[in-house]
A and B are shown apart, each in its own frame.
Chain A
Amino acid sequence: MISVDIERRRRRTANVFTLAILALWFVAGWIEPPYLLPGPANIAERLWDFAIDPHMWVHAAASLAHVIAAVAGSILIGGCLAVAAYYLPVLRLAVHGRLSPFLNSFSGTGWVLLSVLWFGLGGFTVVFSLAMVLIPFAIINVRQGLESIDPELIEMAKSFGHSGLKRFFLIILPALTPFLFSTMRICFGVSWKALLTAELFGGDTGFGRLFNLARQNYDTPLVVTVIVIIVAAVYASDRYLFEPAQARLSAHYEAV
């Protein structure tokens, strides 16, 4: 058991570390020109400009919409494939032994460039290439969920005469819920990593588009501002949204 004192010391060290990094950044930003390394004050200013510019909110909303659509699509497609392999075991090797490893090792950048050639620039290109990156994560996680279902529960449902569809909605889907949630959490984190590449090469709106404009204009402060927004959004959503929700979900299912 970690004593309160050690816990407090660890927190203090972490805070001192954060302040030291900010101080270093401040000094480096003061020495270097803004196109090489904009300082924290410059970034704070740009963050404020970003917050009051409705045009920037359109880009932020577009990126969020791309992520939500890709995560939903990949969970739906990956989930259906995993469920198909579960109900029709003859598909198991095809889904888990062929399709999933192939998609898992196919380059995310490759999907982006191929979808630009196939669909041109636009939201669909971004969502398609992101979904192709996320689908194997969904297949693997949903498979794990399906394999962890207690077979005795299913036997019991069968003995009560429940049909296959009823068993799916009454036993399998509820048992899968924590896994679907963790799939969503993983896909959400991964999608932000791949999103900018997809939008940079294939999108006409979103943070990636801003990145592209900033890169062409050597606007390093805008690049760093977008990075700060993404890091803060991903960190905050995982820490304050997904983590507590998953803990509550796990507690609920353990209690059940």
Chain B
Amino acid sequence: MKRSGLAASDTERAIGEGLPLVFLLLWWLTARSLPSFILPGPIETGETLLQLFIDPAFVGDTLISLARVVAAVILAVILGGALAGLARYVPSTAYAVQRRVLPVLNSFPSVGWAILATFWFQPDSASVIFVETLILIPFCAIALMQGIADMDRELLEMGASFSRSSLKIARKIALPMLLPYVMSSVRIAYGVGWKIALVSELFGVDHGLGYLMLRAEVIGNTAMVFASCFAIVIIFVTGEKLIIDPLARRFAIH
């Protein structure tokens, strides 16, 4: 029954590749009998989607959302890494990080941060990045804690016997061992960033895909809501295939 590892059969491939086509056909047929504000057709949605990538009126929203997610991922990896490092190298803080800070951040509702940020700050890119970073930190910290815990202690000890420079040991031995986990935390944060953290663009700000989506929903422009969601899927998959996957392969432990 279990067939993992085997190449996909022709039938499996036909069904797999045919599914999106059947879905598009069903969508097109259903949309023909429904008004556009309920279900726009795939062609109308496709045209709106194209606008998000080529129309100067919308491309700024797409790019600013991308820039915010990327900035938040970088900050979350740095801050999550700092928390993971603190828990490991200042052992007395381990409980505070693992049983106080992370559980609270992890269960803190995303929209809670977004609303609090509207009370605390002027809505702009910095407040969006603040919210997205806070949502992503626990995901990065947990992945990096695992990375630090899995580091080969004997290799570090061997490094210490060859050099007294802890900076050199960190750069030459610890960092290469940690990089796969850094990439895994980048991958998780990038996914969650597009999936959940976009909520931060729903309140106050006047640019970004979240803002576009909400404005489109209010005026009943369902094609734009769909197009924004598909734009996110496209940017997410492209970023993962073109940047994260090659980097992960490069930094993988061989």
Contact = CB atoms under 8 A, between A and B. Distances in A.
Contact of B8 (A14, A93, A104, A133): A93
Interface string B1-24: 111100011011101111110000
Contacts of A116: 217
Interface string A83-117: 00011011111100111011011111110011011
Nearest to B98: A14
Contacts of A230: 107-109, 112
State the 9 A-B residue pairs at the shortest beta-carbon distance, nearest first: A93-B16, A110-B229, A234-B107, A14-B95, A17-B96, A113-B217, A10-B95, A196-B111, A14-B96
Given A14-B99, A87-B1, A194 B110 contact: yes
Given A93-B15, A117-B37, A215-B115, 5 more contacts: A10-B93, A14-B99, A94-B15, A193-B110, A196-B109
13 contacts: A10-B92, A93-B16, A93-B17, A94-B18, A98-B19, A105-B194, A105-B237, A107-B195, A107-B229, A118-B39, A192-B107, A197-B110, A215-B118
A160 B111 CA distance: 54
Q: Would you call the interface of chain A mostly helix, strand, loop, or mixed?
A: helix
Interface string A113-150: 11011100000000000000100000000000011010
A29 interface: no
Contacts of A13: 92-93, 95-96
Contacts, number: 179
A218 interface: yes
A113 B120 CA distance: 26
A40 to B, nearest CB: 14
B191 interface: yes
A105 B195 contact: yes
Contact of A109 (B106, B119, B213): B213
Nearest to B119: A220
Q: Which size class do A's interface residues fall under? A: 35 or more
Contact of A235 (B17, B19, B103): B103
Nearest to A91: B15
B19 A118 contact: no
Nearest to B18: A94
A13 B111 CA distance: 30
A227 B109 contact: yes
Contact of B1 (A151, A211, A227): A151
A105 B2 contact: no
A18 interface: yes
B51 interface: no
Given A147-B2, A197-B110, A110 B232 contact: yes
Interface in B168-210: 191, 194-196, 198-199, 202-203, 210
A222 to B, nearest CB: 10
A30 interface: no
B142 interface: no
Given A107-B195, A197-B199, A14 B112 contact: no
